[in-house]
Structure 1
Amino acid sequence: MCTGKCAKCTADLLFPLGLLAVVGNILLFFPNGEVWRTEEVTEKIWFFPGVIGAGLLAFLPASIMRAAGLEGSCCANRCGMMLSMLMSVLGVAGALYCMIISAVGLQDGPLCDTGDGIFIYPFLNSTTEESYLFNQTSWAVCVRPQNVAMWNVVLFSILLIIGTLEAVLLLAQVVNGLIGCLCGTCMNKNQHTQME
Structure 2
Amino acid sequence: MPSQHPKEVGYGHVVESYVTRMYGDLPRYLVLNGGRFLGPRWWHTTRFTRHLLNDAAAITDEELEALLGYEWRSRLTAAWLIGIDRRERFRAHIGDLLLASEVCYSGSAYCFALTRFGTHTDAEILTTYLDHYLPRTDLHYDQPAALGALLRLDALLSTRHADRFTEPDGLWDEWVKGVGRLGYPSYTPAELRRWTDLQCDFANGWSRT
Is TM (by shorter chain) over 0.5? no
Identify, as 1 or 2, the structure richer in helix.
1
Q: Which has the higher contact order (CA 8 A, sep 6+)?
A: 1
Which is greater in Rg? 1
Task: Compute the TM-score of the two structures, normalised by the length of structure 1.
Answer: 0.27
